[in-house]
Structure 1
Amino acid sequence: MNTSIHKTQKLKRPFILASVMLGMFLAAIEGTIVATAIPSIVADLGGFSLYSWVFSAYLLTNAATVLIFGKLSDIFGRKPIFVVGVSIFIIGSICCGLSTSIFMLIIARFVQGLGAGAVMPIATTIVGDIYNKQERSKIQGYLSSVWGISAVTGPLLGGMFVDLLSWRYVFWINIPLGLLAMLGIILFLHEDIEKKERSIDYGGSILIMVAVSSLMFILVEGGISIPWKSPFMFCLLVLAGGGLYFFVFHEKRVKDPMMPFDIWRIKLIRVANLTTLTTGMILIGVSSYLPAFVQGVMDQSATVAGFTLTTMSIGWPIASTVAGRLLLVIGYRATSLIGGLSLVIGAIFFFILTPDMGPVFAGTGSFFIGVGMGMSSTSFIVAIQSTVNWERRGIATAANMFMRSLGSAVGAALLGGILNSQIQSYLANNGLENKISVDTANQILASDQQSGLSESVKAVLRDGLTSGLHYVYMGLLLLAVITLVLIILLPKKENE
């Protein structure tokens, strides 16, 4: 589809860019601001065993819809899809803020993730539409700053809302931001859409959602609420395996596939996308469970927990900026290797982390993870976009974003399952499995609720949480090593 931009729009580009950056800020801040508040949310609503589903629900619909929204924007234009996406996101945010149970919150997060699936890719596409290749390199700095600003302000705002107001404001802050972003795009972005019939791969979207959601149930609930040898577990395994098989089968035969597998034949794209999958798992592991460690194990406030995440958020944009220059000097592979090494160093910090080491040590590990993410993600996007032609650049970029979303969704479920099973095992080993449950860990995350627990129970819960999170960080280290190995397998030149 050809979309021409009015010449007069050049004068409005600063306003469009501001609206796009606000939309990106809306989606970017969601991860860090919620991660800081989640221990307090779970302490208020209960359901610690469903902790990871607050993240997984959002990431699942985000991953399942990001490619299809990109396809819809090619047919109907960027403006209507962006506005629809932000509208759905706002509705989901309102429902999140009004939630009275963990189940209601998870359902609202499904809705929120559906909207987020449109916001980020369409915002990036709009920038590609209104700026030429030379201008884009400069604009990329502005877009990177959005991640930096949102990442720094997100944890701080989340901590302040929790400590001074209520965790509900974490979601309600999205309402004015979303309305402003929508208003700017409605007023200033004008498109001439060439009418052209296109097929939409709804089947692929449904199949991948069935496969991923089934896999997430297996990872989170397997061996806990769903016995491994139960008929329900067998059904989930069939759905996960069958859904993935038929997704691949369907995508190879449909006219306009949601995931064009021919681009995976290019070694750089194949390896970069697999690496992006593992980095997505690392990212969600740090974002989701570092606040739980700082608040539940170190007994620090939500604001302090926010600061430990902020260091990752500072490292990311700084590394992205440096990576943009390094790419021209040492190439994308060497730049990616620096990122891979940084991820391993950060994961080692978490692996050896103990309650006595304090939040500064945790924040240092978080910073190295941020540097690793900034170096690797920037290198991958630039390399991928340089490898394919213009006609496939959008879908190649979207496929890489999809792999990160998928990695985050699976990572949240996998690491959440590890945490729950370890806490449950710890309780059983201490003879408390019939007296307290995994959900009792809710009370450890809120100092005002700990008075109802005896000192011995608090000690066991805190030790159990420490043990469970240690296994989570062991998983992070393994993922970081796998990421480094995959980066080593990258071709030395982009066109190999």
Structure 2
Amino acid sequence: MASPATASAVGFRSERGPILIALMLSTGLIAIDATILATAVPSVVKDLGSFEQFPWLFSVYLLAQSVSVPIYSKLADTIGRKPVILIGVGLFLLGSILCGFAWSMPALIAFRAVQGLGAGAVAPMAMTIVGDVYTVAERAKVQGYIASVWAISSVVGPALGGVFSQFASWRWIFFVNVPLCLIAGAMLLRNYHERVERRRHRIDVAGAVLLTVGLTSVILALLEGGHAWPWASWQTVAAFGLGAAALVAFALVERRAAEPVLDLSLFGRRLISTTTLIGVGVGAVMIGITSYVPTYLEGSIRVVPLVAGVAVAALTLGWPLAASQAGRMYLRFGFRATVLIGATIVVVGSLGLIAIAPYPNPWSVAGVAFVMGFGLGWVAAPSLIAAQSSVGWHERGVVTGLNAFSRSAGSAVGVAVFGAIANAFLLDTPGGAQNPAAVVNATEAVFIGVAATAVLMLLATLAMPKVRVEHLEPTPAVEAAA
């Protein structure tokens, strides 16, 4: 009897090319959207006003994306990957159209939330489908292709945002998504097929609601604490308190749920728990570099934003280069050894950042960022693939979503912690962010925080169990014929 829901496309290698193109296109939509809006903010504010509200354009998107990932991941293991990713593309399409027609800043913020809900389905589903369609030996190379989309988008996104804002209208930032969404959706409909075991499911509504409330409250407190309101304010305390209470209630409910949104027993598996911690580290290290390197270079030696962006782009170029070669590494040496080498490279790179911090130079920063990106490529892809490969179809969506969420959580925590570190230095120095020396000192402190995070990620890697590739799940073709 056939496995209950392995993609039928795995038996037809010729169909995998269009599927991969559709996944890369869908991922590209999400990746470009993460950066394209930043350069258009002045035009948006000029048209819609409410300068004090524009940070919510980014916060609400990240919030909606992060909290929806676990829900979509569970649905993918229940009803299949195809309907979930199509729902994601559809929501992203709807959100893009609404954003393009937004008449006020509050409306644009609300429609960005719709986009975020779409992104929450697309990003983890792309990684999950890769796990379904490609063998363990092939996945690293394919994940490298997906990572290259993020690398290209990090450069193309800001440039497109500037072009649309200057020569057309900021609204085209969103309208350009319409044909791309339609093409991606059509390719998935035509080329991606899967068999799903049809049976009655008991939807864990209580768990989904409690998880959403808990994650929303905690992530909101992390994103807005120290920005929209002070860390010691009643808003921050209330958000953390509500989030903690909801998550405790969620844990209690999941113990009794017939089909829990998130099976907490997964954390009892050392491979899953360690790769989740590694994902948190990856997200925190990434946000520390991508958020503070441009500010560091622009605020200390007054380089133009384009040059500062090139320094950050070096990190996103090293990542896919390493990821595409990671398959050879883990097939020969195992997952743990590959991730361990990558984590060590990240630690060395972060120490290099600390060493060069007192001497701002975009090219030296770009060189170190490339090294760190290369290390992250050997951390992120193999750790994800190890987790995916240790489970069957019915758990792969949740495990992949857990990995994606851990990176988002790491980014949110990183934003909060590194922001508090930087602000502590800037507020205590005359001139603050206008003082180049203050900027250098604040960034050096952030880089120390990034290095500490990298060391913790290395420790999590050391706790990762040694698992050989041949001891994990069979290739998709074998699974389909089981």
Alignment of 1:164-175 (within 5 A): 165-166=165-166, 168=170, 170-175=173-178
C-alpha distance in structure 2 between counterparts of 1:488 and 1:360, whole Å: 32
Shift of 1:215: 2.9
The more displaced of 195-204 and 63-72 is: 195-204
C-alpha distance in structure 1 between counterparts of 2:362 and 2:351, whole Å: 15
- Residue 5 of structure 2 corresponds to 3
CA distance change for structure 1 residues 57 and 363 in 2, over 3 Å: closer, same or farther?
farther
C-alpha distance in structure 2 between counterparts of 1:100 and 1:418, whole Å: 37
C-alpha distance in structure 1 between counterparts of 2:462 and 2:222, whole Å: 29
Shift of 1:479: 0.9
Identity %: 32
What does the per-residue CA deviation read over 1:215-249, in whole Å, with 9 as the maximum and x for residues that have no partner? 34444554665455544443223213212322222
Could you tell me which runs of 5 or more consecutive residues in structure 2 were left unpaired when the two chains were aligned: 473-482
The DSSP-based 3-state class of the residue aligned with 2:361 is: helix
Could you tell me which runs of 5 or more consecutive residues in structure 1 were left unpaired when the two chains were aligned: 433-437, 442-458
Contact (CA 8 Å) 1:204, 1:251: kept in 2 or not?
Answer: yes
C-alpha distance in structure 2 between counterparts of 1:492 and 1:6, whole Å: 31
C-alpha distance in structure 2 between counterparts of 1:411 and 1:47, whole Å: 27
- Residue 486 of structure 1 corresponds to 460
Shift of 1:23: 1.3
Is the counterpart of residue 314 in structure 1 residue 317 in structure 2? yes
Shift of 1:306: 2.7
What does the per-residue CA deviation read over 1:146-184, in whole Å, with 9 as the maximum and x for residues that have no partner? 321441353144235426854935544433322210121
Q: Which amino acid aligns with 2:246?
A: G
CA distance change for structure 1 residues 107 and 416 in 2, over 3 Å: closer, same or farther?
farther
C-alpha distance in structure 1 between counterparts of 2:356 and 2:191, whole Å: 50
Contact (CA 8 Å) 1:57, 1:106: kept in 2 or not?
Answer: yes
C-alpha distance in structure 2 between counterparts of 1:353 and 1:7, whole Å: 49
- Residue 293 of structure 1 corresponds to 296
Q: Which amino acid aligns with 1:475?
A: G
What does the per-residue CA deviation read over 1:394-441, in whole Å, with 9 as the maximum and x for residues that have no partner? 332332222122222332344344445554x24xx53x8xxxxx9xx7
C-alpha distance in structure 2 between counterparts of 1:323 and 1:235, whole Å: 44
Shift of 1:114: 0.9
- Residue 181 of structure 1 corresponds to 184
Alignment of 1:17-416 (within 5 A): 17-31=20-34, 33-34=35-36, 38=38, 41=41, 45=45, 54-95=57-98, 106-129=109-132, 131=133, 133=135, 137-138=137-138, 140-159=140-159, 161-162=161-162, 165-166=165-166, 168=170, 170-191=173-194, 193-222=196-225, 226-227=229-230, 230-354=233-357, 357-416=360-419
CA distance change for structure 1 residues 197 and 416 in 2, over 3 Å: closer, same or farther?
farther
What does the per-residue CA deviation read over 1:10-55, in whole Å, with 9 as the maximum and x for residues that have no partner? 3644333322221122234444x34xx6366369749998787554
CA distance change for structure 1 residues 160 and 375 in 2, over 3 Å: closer, same or farther?
same
CA distance change for structure 1 residues 209 and 30 in 2, over 3 Å: closer, same or farther?
same
The more displaced of 155-164 and 113-122 is: 155-164
C-alpha distance in structure 1 between counterparts of 2:355 and 2:39, whole Å: 22
Is the counterpart of residue 14 in structure 1 residue 22 in structure 2? no
CA distance change for structure 1 residues 108 and 414 in 2, over 3 Å: closer, same or farther?
farther
The DSSP-based 3-state class of the residue aligned with 2:261 is: coil
Alignment of 1:448-467 (within 5 A): 459-460=434-435, 464-467=438-441
- Residue 477 of structure 2 corresponds to none
Query: What TM-score comes out, normalization by structure 1 length?
Result: 0.80
Contact (CA 8 Å) 2:314, 2:367: kept in 1 or not?
Answer: yes
1:472 to 432, 439, 446: 446
The DSSP-based 3-state class of the residue aligned with 1:272 is: helix
- Residue 445 of structure 1 corresponds to none
Contact (CA 8 Å) 1:298, 1:355: kept in 2 or not?
Answer: no
The DSSP-based 3-state class of the residue aligned with 1:357 is: coil
C-alpha distance in structure 1 between counterparts of 2:218 and 2:9, whole Å: 48
What does the per-residue CA deviation read over 1:251-297, in whole Å, with 9 as the maximum and x for residues that have no partner? 22222222211121122221221121121111122223333333444
CA distance change for structure 1 residues 200 and 305 in 2, over 3 Å: closer, same or farther?
farther
Q: Which amino acid aligns with 2:317?
A: I
Shift of 1:79: 3.2
CA distance change for structure 1 residues 137 and 488 in 2, over 3 Å: closer, same or farther?
closer
> Aligned-pair RMSD on alpha carbons?
3.6
Shift of 1:391: 4.0
- Residue 476 of structure 2 corresponds to none
C-alpha distance in structure 2 between counterparts of 1:206 and 1:117, whole Å: 16
Shift of 1:315: 0.9
The DSSP-based 3-state class of the residue aligned with 1:478 is: helix
CA distance change for structure 1 residues 467 and 176 in 2, over 3 Å: closer, same or farther?
farther
Q: Which amino acid aligns with 2:407?
A: R
C-alpha distance in structure 2 between counterparts of 1:173 and 1:346, whole Å: 37
C-alpha distance in structure 1 between counterparts of 2:442 and 2:98, whole Å: 31
Q: Which amino acid aligns with 2:17?
A: P
Contact (CA 8 Å) 1:3, 1:194: kept in 2 or not?
Answer: yes
Count of matched residue pairs = 461
What does the per-residue CA deviation read over 1:350-371, in whole Å, with 9 as the maximum and x for residues that have no partner? 3345485321122122212211
The more displaced of 409-418 and 274-283 is: 409-418
The DSSP-based 3-state class of the residue aligned with 2:360 is: helix
